[in-house]
Each structure stands twice: as structure tokens, then as C-alpha cells.
Chains A and B, each alone.
Chain A
Amino acid sequence: MATSTLRQKYPSISPGLLAWLGFIAVLLTIGLAAAFEVFRRGLVVTNMSDLVPWGLWITIDLSAIALGAGAFTLSAVVYLFGLKKFQSIVRLAVYVGFIGYTTALLTLIMDIGRPDRFWHPWVYWNIHSVLWEITWCITIYLTIMILEFAPVVLEAKFFDRWPWLRQVAHSMHKIAPVLALLGLLISLLHQSSLGATYGIIKSRPIWFKPSMPIMFILSAVAVGPALTMAVAFVLEWITGKRAISHDILRIIARASGLTLLVYAYIRFWDLAAVSYYGRTPAVSEALHALNSQTPYTFGFWVGEMIIGILIPVLMFLLPRYNQRPVNLVLGAFCAMLGIIFNRWNVTVTGLFVPVNFSPGTLYRLPAGEYLPGLVEWSIAVGIIGYIMLMLTLGVRYLPLFPKGEAHKF
């Protein structure tokens, strides 16, 4: 029974932990100060403009949701495909996913002009809008993750005083497969719709292509589980306890490497079709503009291809590298950077190329210029603080790693 973990004593707060918490507090303070500034003065404190209305924060949203994809992927692997040996990592995966999705929602609250109206998409429906669908999916999926994770939280020592809660938690274990199925459907939907957000914008030729949703979901499925794997290793190094067998983690890394190869394949054909075989004048013009103003091609090859795909694939798949945990963590880190880089590239570079609507030949909107400002970076710092805090609290107070044969739900 799950109760075996309850009697465990938490170690007292060591000086090292205290320093770590202090560091997190500094990060959070920076973030909160920036948030205060945004709420006080409005989005004018950012470097976004009418030409580039989306920036760093949207990149954080997209990346956080993609990186949270380990939750639905690994849940589906265990509860739908019945690969029970991955059971031991599901809790961690759902927890990491939960952190990712809440990160995205926190950033979104900063990013919308009227945070007080965040609830409008639930009341005023535009079913034709992908953004409406995404809002709904993300909210529903967050609820699913909370339901999936609630039993874990309820196992914490704190809830000893209400035994009936344990009963509830136990019965909730039983609906885990249903939740996993729902989670899978909802995740497949919104992870790809995030790509469609760009893919359907016909006014911007560089975005307008059907491969967008597919590339988004594939990259998320590849990198989400890899991040969970890396977090498991890092937690093992910090706590000194091996909670999840390295074999399992290595299998996840290999699966991630293979999925990255599939992603690379789609990416390659996207590149070939859009910018070589089927190149339209509008796309040519956009790419030319991007390359003359930004290191777009360099960034694509180095950031997305070498760092984001090649290095992780080598680390995850080659036997001479993937035996050492440090290489797997390095690979996952690179893959994560690659995802962030990709989402940035999609969002901001797409907006750098201005729309061109004038019937004449002289007038052009100026090319978008955008680098995140101090307040935007500060929010990012605060977000990192939030992620660290959640991970620290989770490791310390939640039974993220089931012990022995304790859990057979």
C-alpha cells in the first residue's frame, strides 16, 4: 500500500538547501517585481510592438507546453499501451508536465493585455479559433493532470489527519487509464494546434504551411519524455537515491532519439518543399529578408539542427555515448535548447518579416525589430524560479517516486 511512504522523515533543512531556497527567492522576487511593473504600467514596458506583437513570453509558453509533453506520452505508454515497467516514472512525468503547463499559464497571464478577462474564452466561444481550442484543451488537460496527480499529493504526510481523503485518492487511481486516454486525445489536439496557430495564418507566407502542427507535436513527443528522463537523473544525483532504474531511463532516451529522427525527417522535407522545390516568391522574399537582417539560416542549422537534433540523437542512440547518464542529460539539455530555439524562431522570425499589402513598389512596412527587454527577461527569471521551487518542493514533500512494489494501480 501507498502508506509505506508516509512514515518517512524529512531531513531538516541543511545550509545548502537554505542557500538554494534563498537563490530561488531571489529569482522569484525579480519575477514578481517585473510582474508588478507589467500590471502597473501595461505591456508598454516590454519591447513588443504592433509589428512584433508576440515575443519571448509566447516562446516560453510554447516551449513549456512542448516540454511538458512527457506527461501525456509516458502516461499513455503505461496506461494505454500497457508497458507497466515505465510505471515508476509516470508520477515524475506528470509532475514535470504540471510544472510546464502552469508555467505556460502564468506567462500567458502576463502576456495578455487584460489578465482580468482570462476567463473569457470559457464563456465567449469562437469555435473557429485555434487559440480558443488551445485555451480549452490546456485548461482541460491541466485538470486531467491535477486529477492524475491528486492521489500523489494526498499521500503526503500532511493529509494523514483526513483518512477519507485517502479513500478518495485510492479510487482515483482506478480511473487512471481513462484519464490517460483523455489526456492523450487532448494533448495530441493542442500540442499540434499550437503549431496550427502559425500554420493557418495565410497573411504570413513563411508560416502558412500544413507541416506546422505536425512538426510541433513530433518535437514535443520527442523532447518531453527526454526532459523527464533528465530530471530523473539530476534528482538522483542531488538526492543520492536511485528511484528509477537506469535501464528505463535509457529506453526513454532511445525512444526520444528515434522520435527526433522522425522529426528531423519531416523537418527536412518541410525545408526541401517550402524553400527549394516549391519555393514561392513570397517565401523567397521572406527568407531573403530574414537572412539579410538576422542570422536566420545560421540559427536554424546550429540552434535547431545541430544542438536541437544532431547532438541529442547521437547521445541518445549511439551505444558508446548512451551508457553514461551525463551524456543522456546533456542530450536532453541540448534537445530542450533546440525546442526553445525552434519556438523562438517560429514566433519571432515569422513576425520579423512584415506583411506587405501596398499595391505600389515603394512603401514597405519596416522589418520588425525585437529583442526581449529587461522586464521580459525578469519574468523569464521569475518563471525559472517558479520551476525550481516546484521541483524542490515536489522532491522534498511529495512521493514522486513510488517505493518498491508499493503501487500497483
Chain B
Amino acid sequence: MPKKTKIKLELSRRDFLTVAAAAAGSVVAAQALTVGPLSPFSLLKQNQIQGEAGQKHGDSKYRWGMIINLDKCIGCEYCLRACSATNDVASDRPWNIVVAEQNSSGYPFFFSRPCLHCQEAPCVEVCPVKATYRREDGLIVMDYDRCIGCRYCEVACPYDARRFNWEERAKGNEFIPTWGIAEVPRRPRGVVEKCTFCIHRIDDGLKQGLMPGEHPEATPACVNICPVGARIFGNLNDPNSRISHELQANATIRLREELGTEPVVYYIPPKEGL
């Protein structure tokens, strides 16, 4: 009998050590894999939280944003037309839409929507080739030479802000030259396209020492043309810019805020409410 007990003891000690070692190992492994240097997730998270967010809010000198005042908009569609001329957009597939709306108590207003340039853009996340990417200044733009035309970004965009070139477009553009001239090349068949906040103007303007949002040459076409000044454009990272002041002074909303896409386009609701 004692012999048997001894064997039992020995076995259980070995078991105990094995279990203890396994447990300790698991804890170490779990630690290393979740928060430690081995963790792919911690790495991703760090990039997301520190790297990108840092860029978003502080590091970069510029972060472009827009305010659209729904209380002022008269639904003239000038923004749509100027945009379509400047960026040579097909008239049946505008980047910038203007529609008649009404609030919950039936009061009519007009609603317009460029690309919202989400700082956590679903289209950037899903693109298999990084043809859509986020610039340091927060703009979401495309490399039309890289896009393969899979249209996943179109499927993923929560705001229907993307358009695909289903065919080679016929010559001509009904908005040119009345509403402006084409400042960027037309996109080829088979790629997706989107609003850029007129980056060509922003980039050229900054090179010439102009400030986008203040100098028309450096400001998006839709903002310049608005006859009632319903659109304000500018640098969100500059606390003294007009857009920053307006954001301070007005209550604003963003579209589908609950998705966490962090658009840089803010809306001032009509004073009758939404």
C-alpha cells in the first residue's frame, strides 16, 4: 500500500509540475501575443492609435475639412455643376449630389454631399491594392493608375460617394465651359473615381503660397461657386482658420456618426431642426 501511494504522489507531482509549467507558459505566451512585442494586434493597434491618429490631429500641418450649411443651401446645384466641369465628371454620375430633403416635421431643405473624406475610411480599408489612400492632410484620394476596378470600395462606402467608369466616356461635357474647364484628366474606363476636394488646387495653391479656403485659386470649385456661401472649406488643424471658428460657433452634425468613420465634412442643420 505505501508503495502505491508513493507512486501516486510521484505521478501527481509530475502532473502538477507539468500543469504549472504549461500554465506559466500559457500566461507568458498569451501576454506576449496580446500586448507583447509578438502581437500583430498590438502592433496594428499602436499604428492605428498613435501613428494615424497622431497624424490626424496633430502631426500634420494641414487637415482639410468642410462645413455645409443646410440652413443656407438653396438647392441651385451650382456646386454640382462646377464640380462636374472642374473635375470633368459625367453628368449622370456626379461626385457631388444635391437633393431636396425635409426634416422630421416636414420642413423642406436642401441636402448636398461631396465625398466626406472619412478619417477612418471604409474604402481605404477594403481596397486590395491601396489605390485609395489617405494623405497626410486627411484627404482620401485615388491612384487611378493602380485601381483594378473591383468595386469593393463602392460596396463599402456608407455614403454612396463613389462612381465606377462602366464605359469609355463619350466626348464632351455639358458643364464645360459654362461652369468651368476641366482641370484634371478624365478617368479611364474600368476604374472607380471620387471627389478629391480638388487636391490639384490645394496642392498647387500651397506651392504658390496661397491658403486653401481663403484664396479661391486654392479652394475646391464647389465652395467657390456657392452663391449663398453655404460651404466653408479650410484647415481644421489651424485653430484660427475660418472653418475652426465656424465649428466653434455652430452646432454641427456628421453623417452616420455611429459608424465611426470620422468624416471631415460637418453639416449645420437647418434652424427648424432635422
Q: A53-B151, A113-B149, A360-B101 are in contact. Are A131 and B126 (CB under 8 A)?
A: yes
Residue of A nearest to B48 (CB): A128
B168 CB contacts on chain A under 8 angstroms: 42
B122 contacts A202, CB within 8 Å? yes
Task: Name B166's contact: one of A42, A51, A203, A360 (CB within 8 Å).
Answer: A42
| Distance between B241 CB and nearest chain A CB, rounded to angstroms | 24
B129 contacts A120, CB within 8 Å? yes
Of A300-308, A315-323, A329-337, A349-357, the stretch lying at the interface with chain B is: A349-357
**A377 at the binding interface (Cβ < 8 Å):** no
**A361 at the binding interface (Cβ < 8 Å):** yes
Q: A203-B157, A354-B160 are in contact. Are A44 and B167 (CB under 8 A)?
A: yes
Task: Name B129's contact: one of A132, A204, A354 (CB within 8 Å).
Answer: A132
**A394 at the binding interface (Cβ < 8 Å):** no
A43 contacts B128, CB within 8 Å? no
B191 contacts A114, CB within 8 Å? yes
**B28 at the binding interface (Cβ < 8 Å):** no
| Distance between B167 CB and nearest chain A CB, rounded to angstroms | 4
**B147 at the binding interface (Cβ < 8 Å):** yes
User: In A333-380, which residues have CB < 8 Å from any B CB?
Assistant: 351, 354-355, 357-363, 365
Task: Name A50's contact: one of B108, B125, B130, B163 (CB within 8 Å).
Answer: B163
Interface size class of A (residues with CB under 8 A): 35 or more
Task: Name A53's contact: one of B101, B131, B164 (CB within 8 Å).
Answer: B164
Residue of A nearest to B154 (CB): A53
**B150 at the binding interface (Cβ < 8 Å):** yes
B126 contacts A359, CB within 8 Å? no
**B114 at the binding interface (Cβ < 8 Å):** no
Residue of B nearest to A126 (CB): B130
B121-146 interface code vs A (CB 8 A; 1 in, 0 out): 01001111111000000000000001
Task: Name B267's contact: one of A129, A130, A355, A359 (CB within 8 Å).
Answer: A359
B90-121 interface code vs A (CB 8 A; 1 in, 0 out): 00010000011111100011010100000000
**B206 at the binding interface (Cβ < 8 Å):** no
B67-106 interface code vs A (CB 8 A; 1 in, 0 out): 0001000000000000000000000010000011111100
Q: Which residues of B approach A to under 8 Å, CB–CB?
A: 70, 93, 99-104, 108-109, 111, 113, 122, 125-131, 146-152, 154-160, 162-168, 189-192, 253, 255-256, 259-260, 267, 269, 274
5 contacting pairs across A/B (C-beta < 8 A): A113-B151, A113-B190, A132-B129, A359-B267, A360-B111
Nearest 10 A/B pairs, CB to CB:
A113-B149, A113-B190, A360-B101, A203-B158, A44-B167, A132-B128, A53-B151, A131-B128, A44-B166, A124-B129
